[in-house]
Amino acid sequence: MPVTASPSSSSTPASDLLVALRDVTFGYGERPVLDGLSLVVPKGKVTALMGASGGGKTTVLRLIGGQCRAQSGQVLLSGQDVGAMSQAQLYAARRRMGMLFQFGALFTDLSVFENVAFPLREHTRLPPALIRDIVLMKLDAVGLRGARDLMPSEISGGMARRVALARAIALDPELVMYDEPFAGLDPISLGTAASLIRQLNDALGVTSILVSHDVHETLTIADHVVILAHGKVAMAGTPAEVRACTDPLVQQFIGMAVEGPVRFHYPGPSVEQDFGVGARS
């Protein structure tokens, strides 16, 4: 079945977009990942990138951040092609972004306070007293001002994810990207993380891109959902539109079904070829 984008993926006015991918192709070595991918990220909204593992969701984040460059097509940030930026331009663009990495990626030899202070010390010349106030404000926003003196080894996985979120918003970015923020969290921590993403997006007026496999929590907090498959957009729309979509691939993902267009077995030689079943009989 051909994979097509929903009309809602192209109906947003350009002035209301922060990020747009236009006919982007990218692969790792001989393995293609994105094949003419086009998608949009509306300003001020929570956009969820979903789909089966290996579908290119994290790769999209890397392309937006400039860690990877598209082999063809454009990755646009406020209308500027990230792939065509100089090192100085890319460095400036990254200051407009916050990133929450999978499992937090805190510096293990720095305290909670110093982890959040790190981007402020790295990218600004603010006086220590102002850095202290900003760090405590960000930690308070995620409920962890009292944990400022603890080390990453002394806090739980859910708390570490919240510290990473405070660090991601330390520079007041326009865009915050979340790579699997719910992975490995208990139900309480997961619900807390989801609520924080939604609340901070609205309170700070930022744009959020959320890569997640957690269907329930993601569809609860997202404004715009993009489901990737086969290097393209299988579906793009509101959570209600995604739930109502009749595409078998989308239904398999939303319904968490084992059988469907996404096969259980990775493509490879047949059983007969591998085990010589016919040749030995």
Domains and CATH numbers, the chain: 1-96+173-189+201-281 (3.40.50.300), 108-172 (no CATH)
| DSSP β-ladder status, 46-50 and 224-229 | parallel
Distance CA 12, CA 5 (A): 13
253 residue type, one letter: F
d(CA 167, CA 24): 30
Q: How far apart are CA 209 and CA 179, in angstroms?
A: 9
Residues paired with 80 in a beta bridge: 77
- Greatest Cα pair distance, the chain, in angstroms, is 80
| Residue 106 pLDDT > 60 | yes
Conformational region of residue 166, where left means phi above 0, alpha means psi within -120 to 50, and beta covers everything else: alpha
**Strand 17-28, strand 97-100: pairing:** unpaired
pLDDT band per the 50, 70, 90 thresholds, residue 139: very high
Q: Is the distance from CB of 67 to CB of 59 less than 8 angstroms?
A: no
Looking at the predicted structure, is the pLDDT value of residue 104 above 70?
no
Give the start-end residues of each E strand in 29-165. 31-42, 46-50, 72-77, 80-81, 97-100
Residue whose pair of structure tokens reads 């591998």 in the numeric block: 274
> What does the pLDDT look like over 243-257, one tens digit per residue?
888 888 788 777 766
* Closest C-alpha among 71, 89, 73 to residue 39: 73
Q: What is the pTM of this model?
A: 0.81
By the 8 A CB rule, do 5 and 236 touch?
yes
| Tokens linked to 172 | 């007041």
Read off the pLDDT of residues 7-38 as tens digits, 9 standing for 90 and up.
Answer: 344 455 565 778 999 999 998 877 888 988 99
Backbone angles phi, psi at 61, to 5 degrees: -60, -40
Instruction: Say if strands 207-211 and 175-179 run parallel, antiparallel, or are unpaired.
Output: parallel
Pairing of strands 72-77, 46-50: unpaired
| pLDDT at site 13 | 59
The per-residue pLDDT for 11 is: 57
